[in-house]
Amino acid sequence: MPKTADFTSWTSTADAADGPQYLAIRNQIALSIEMGKLEPGAKLPSERQLQTGSGAARGTIREALFQLEAEGLIYRRDRSGWYVSPPAVTYDPTRWAGFMTYVAEQGRTPATSTIGKENLPASSAVADIFRVAPGTPLHLITRLRSIDGRPVLVERITVDPALAPGLLSHSLDGSLTHILTTHYNVTVARNRVDMRPCALTREAADALGVKSGTPGLLVVRTSFDTSGRVVEYDQEYWRHDAIRVHVDLVVRC
């Protein structure tokens, strides 16, 4: 159970700082996080306690907290309060490694749970990706992925049943790539990855325990086999504070 941080030492100087008061409070909390006085997972005092300790208005306290949340330094748990964000995991889109692998390699504990699997008719956009007629039934798998017990992303994976008939009868809480390779002899030869900021939709936000519209990162991965067929189309809706994209490029002259 994370302990609640002692706030008396870092709220008392907020009024003395130059500039808007909410930034002074934000800076004090951010500095405490940077210096290790507030450790990852530590619970912040309640908004009322922060208000009492700093003498600031409730709206000022919330503005400071929302700023820190937008920066990924803290996050909210429903009906529980504010917590210091754990370190983000590093994601290298140029490296071929699944979620379970690269999270475990960083000393963290990954977990996956399937929250939905069904056959749905392909929309025009998805049908174009798979080069099938609109309305063609496709497998849709929805999974929730966690790091150290904290939900960090919701993914929606679309697979063509022609390549993997009966896929939905398998347990999908592990590696989907392993199932496709061992049971269907389908091998991924190439991945195309697109990333962009997004606002989490209600469905994704509810699964992650955040409010609808919370900032997120959308990672879209399209996987191809050796003949160029699309094997899977994966849309990952990440908490924006849970992932750090890192690419190490070798410069060739």
Interval 89-103: pLDDT, tens? 998 887 777 898 899
pLDDT surpasses 60 at 10: no
Predicted local confidence at residue 32, as pLDDT: 87
Predicted local confidence at residue 137, as pLDDT: 96
pLDDT surpasses 80 at 128: yes
- Supply the mean pLDDT for the chain: 87
Shortest CA distance to 146 belongs to which of 203, 194, 207?
Answer: 207
| pLDDT tens digits along 12-61 | 444 445 678 888 888 888 888 888 888 888 899 888 888 888 888 888 89
Q: Among the residues of the chain, which ranges form H helices? A: 8-11, 21-34, 47-54, 58-70, 99-105, 124-130, 176-184, 202-208
Ranges of CATH 1.10.10.10 domains, the chain? 8-84
Predicted local confidence at residue 105, as pLDDT: 93
Q: What is the pTM of this model?
A: 0.81
Shortest CA distance to 43 belongs to which of 60, 29, 31, 62?
Answer: 29
Predicted local confidence at residue 80, as pLDDT: 79
CB 15 within 8 A of CB 64: no
Predicted local confidence at residue 4, as pLDDT: 52
Among 3-7, 38-42, 77-81, the minimum mean pLDDT is found in: 3-7
d(C-alpha 232, C-alpha 112), whole Å: 18
- pLDDT band at 109, cuts 50/70/90? very high
For residues 25-54, one letter each, b for 16 or more C-beta atoms within 10 angstroms of the residue's C-beta and e for the rest, the string is bbbbbbebbeeeebeeebbbbeeeebbebb
d(C-alpha 71, C-alpha 23), whole Å: 13
Residues 6+ apart with CB under 8 A from 176: 141, 157, 159, 232
Predicted local confidence at residue 7, as pLDDT: 55
Extended beta strands in the chain, E state? 74-77, 81-84, 89-91, 110-121, 137-147, 150-159, 190-199, 215-224, 230-239, 243-245
| pLDDT tens digits along 159-215 | 999 999 999 999 999 889 889 999 999 988 899 999 999 999 999 999 998 888 888
CB 133 within 8 A of CB 127: yes
Predicted local confidence at residue 1, as pLDDT: 47
Residue 244 bridge partners (DSSP): 90
Average pLDDT over every residue of 102-122: 94
Instruction: Decide which of 2.40.10.220, 3.40.50.300, 1.10.260.40, 3.40.1410.10 is the CATH code for 89-245.
Output: 3.40.1410.10
pLDDT surpasses 60 at 8: no
Ranges of CATH 3.40.1410.10 domains, the chain? 89-245
Predicted local confidence at residue 18, as pLDDT: 60
Instruction: Give the DSSP letter of residue 223.
Output: E
pLDDT surpasses 60 at 2: no
- CATH number, domain 8-84: 1.10.10.10
Predicted local confidence at residue 22, as pLDDT: 83
